[in-house]
Amino acid sequence: MADFGKVAVLMGGRSAEREISLMTGSNVFDALKRKGVDAHRFDPAERALFELVDDGVRRVFIALHGRYGEDGTVQGALEVMEIPYTGSGVMASALCLDKLRTKLVWQASGIPTPRGEIITAATDWPALAGRLGLPMIIKPAHEGSSIGITKVLSPETIEPAYALAAQHDSLVIAEEFIEGRELTAAFLGERALPLVRIEAPAGNYDYQNKYFSDETKYHCPSGLPAAQEQEIQTIVMRAVAALGCSGWGRADLILRDDGKVFLLEMNTIPGMTGHSLVPMAARAAGIAFDDLAMRILELAHVG
């Protein structure tokens, strides 16, 4: 086994996803310890990041979700300190946390993604419904884990949905709703992992159903024909390349009944909890959780 030296698992942080990050980080920490890695917990909300240098940390596994961890800020600081870290670099991390800019890059690259636009308190709600149709999705541009997201069914509920999203972010986007099967597609290095098909209660894959509900059903293998799964994986790896992602990550997408796929967003630091999807996809590919954590650590880089 490679000697990585002292490894810090960054977890917790200051984002709205702190609770999930602590779960992810604890699971990763335990896996690395089982593999004999000299791993240590490190919470940037409780300690200054530059203390990693004082601690003699040689490599970092980033298990932070959302802002102040998944948005390129921590990645940039680690590059200045010349400490190798897991996951995507500064540019791709910042880009992927911004759902609007992710969408713009994909549209420019020919990657299928739902239509969307920025909305403000001054937006004409009936006109918006006319452009995007109903239902529509309203969400903050820089949050994950379905925080602040609303599926809008009627024109009169657009304004309160906007108000909810605006509590979490100054940038709010509205997006056309795509009806279909919900899928997630993970990648590890240059490899696309098996797709996971998600069946959430009443089709609502929200924060509770993502992390705490045992009613959500996951299918891996996905049950799709092999040729169709491979085609979707090819699109996803094109989407990964367009954004400049590296190391590992997960794309969320919808497969419409006519066979057309739409990419919703890219997660550069997916969850590693008991309900998380990357470990599920890795397991279907013959990669146990501990080995997955080790492989991600091996892919750590500076810049």
Told to judge if 162 belongs to the known catalytic residues of this protein, a careful annotator would answer no
Length of the chain: 303
Rounded-to-10 torsion of CA 250, 69, 64, 105: -10
- Catalytic annotation, pick one of 15, 93, 267, 276: 267
- Residue 36 designated active-site: no
- From 25, 59, 271, 276, the catalytic residue: 271
Instruction: Indicate which residue of 17, 143, 169, 206 is catalytic.
Output: 17
Catalytic (active site) residue 17? yes
Judge whether 265 counts as a catalytic residue: yes
Residue 271 falls in the annotated catalytic set: yes
Contact partners, residue 59, CB within 8 Å, separation at least 6: 4, 5, 6, 7, 8, 83, 84, 85, 297, 300
Q: Is 67 a catalytic residue?
A: no
Annotated active-site residue in 27, 88, 145, 209: 145
Rounded to the nearest 10 degrees, what angle do helices 18-34 and 289-298 cross at?
90
- Active-site choice (18, 59, 197, 250): 250
Q: Which of 67, 70, 265, 276 is catalytic?
A: 265
Give the active site residue among 98, 211, 249, 276.
Answer: 211
Q: What are the E-state strand segments in the chain?
A: 6-10, 38-42, 59-62, 116-119, 136-140, 150-152, 172-176, 181-188, 191-192, 196-199, 217-219, 248-255, 261-267
Catalytic residue status for 145: yes
Active site residues: 17, 145, 211, 250, 252, 265, 267, 271
